[in-house]
Amino acid sequence: MIMEIVEFLCALFYTTLHSTAVIILILLFRKLFGAKLWSDGRMILWLLAVVVMIIPVYPNFLFSYMFDSYPIPPFNMRFNQIAEMNNGFLMPTGDIEAVLSVWNGSGWNRIIWDGKITGFVVFSIWISCAAAFIVWQLIIYIKLRNKIRKFSYCHDDSIISFIKSERLFWGINRDIPVIIAPQKLIKEIKCPSVVGVRHPVVVIPSEQWQQLTSTERNAVITHELVHVKYNDNIKNYILLFIQAVHWFNPFVWLALKRLRQDFEAFRDSNIIRNLKVQDIRSYAGAILHIAKLNSRKYSVKPHSGMLCTSGTGLRISLISANNRKSVFTGILLTVLSAVIVFVIFYKFQLDIVGTYITVIP
């Protein structure tokens, strides 16, 4: 059992290493290209990152990358199986040692621990924090659903009529109720959002709703209905699971924040391709208006919203008519990213974590 835990930890570490490299590349591309890297291409790149984050990687490399006789990274961690020679055969003793090696400039300083205890402690910390994150999100969701049940649905005829026409246009075959409630009573909701999967509900803070024009209100509802059409809350649950698994990696938290921002921009592009020029302006105006009314910082939530992250200026840039197609650019950058990742991890053969055999007399 302990060996399976050790192998899992090694695979998790390698997967983290790979995904971090991919995340850094994507963030670099976003920074360099800005609005020129359109929403479609961004989602193709993020798909690469998600795949790398969920596929376990467990190679055993032999060498570290040496730069001017200095290993990069200047440490490695190995879990060694203890074995002994018996009639010319290696016989595992069942013991494991954890060896941490740190480069001191001229050689390696090695610290040896009991591998079983170390592996069990590390695994316990990881799974406890991952479970705590999931429980935290479940509590948020349950509290929000319980609050929603206390509010009545919006019965404004103009809103109901508009929702019916939008449902028909987008091919949504179920009723989508709307709840407009005071912000102080639904603190989990900081902007227009969709809550739930089987019985989705559009929830809008009344303070924001009252400040919008009729065309901006329609834009908000359309955006949330598109979230419903594509079951974006399910996708968000997948991202929350990834975040729980990689809770210790700050690059994953940063990446998923940017991913959610780009995902909102991707839904913007789905919508504006079906709008006239004047309607596109109203749609952009709704985003800007809500952004001004929303002073809360980004936080991880189990629901989809119109402004789940910052980056409103970039979203407005991506809405422009000249930035609607980028599939080729996205594919090109994805291939480039994959090649770079391959070169880093297979050409230079980084040796961070591995399981080896220590032979005792």
Cα 317 from Cα 351, distance rounded (Å) = 42
Assess whether pLDDT exceeds 80 at residue 354: no
170 vs 340, higher pLDDT: 170
- 21, 344 contact by CB (below 8 A): yes
pLDDT of residue 326: 53
Furthest C-alpha separation in the chain = 87
Is residue 325 classed as helix, strand or coil in its secondary structure?
coil
Confidence of residue 243 (pLDDT cuts 50, 70, 90): very high
Q: Is the dihedral of CA 9, 11, 13, 19 positive or negative?
A: negative
Q: Is 284 exposed, middle or buried (0-12, 13-18, 19+ CB in 10 A)?
A: buried
Confidence of residue 61 (pLDDT cuts 50, 70, 90): very low
Cα 7 from Cα 15, distance rounded (Å) = 12
pLDDT of residue 229: 92
265 vs 238, higher pLDDT: 238
The H or E element containing residue 355 is strand 353-360
Cα 249 from Cα 150, distance rounded (Å) = 38
Q: Nearest 5 degrees, angle CA 185-CA 188-CA 193?
A: 100
3-state per-residue secondary structure call for 145-196? HHHHCCCCCCCCHHHHHHHHHHHHHHCCCCCCCEEEECHHHCCCCCCCEEEC
When mean pLDDT is compared over 14-18, 128-132, 230-234, 342-346, the highest value belongs to 128-132
Model confidence pLDDT, tens digit, residues 182-219: 988 888 888 888 998 888 999 998 988 888 888 888 88
- Omega before 73 within 30 of 0, i.e. cis: yes
What number is the average pLDDT over the span 51-71? Answer: 65
Q: Which two tokens stand for residue 89?
A: 């055969």
Percentage of the chain lying above the pLDDT 70 cut: 80
72 vs 121, higher pLDDT: 121
- Find the range with the poorest average confidence among 96-110, 251-265, 278-292: 278-292
Confidence of residue 177 (pLDDT cuts 50, 70, 90): very high
Give the neighbor-by-neighbor strand order of the sheet with 353-360.
108-114, 89-103, 75-86, 353-360
Give the neighbor-by-neighbor strand order of the sheet with 193-195.
178-181, 201-205, 193-195, 304-305
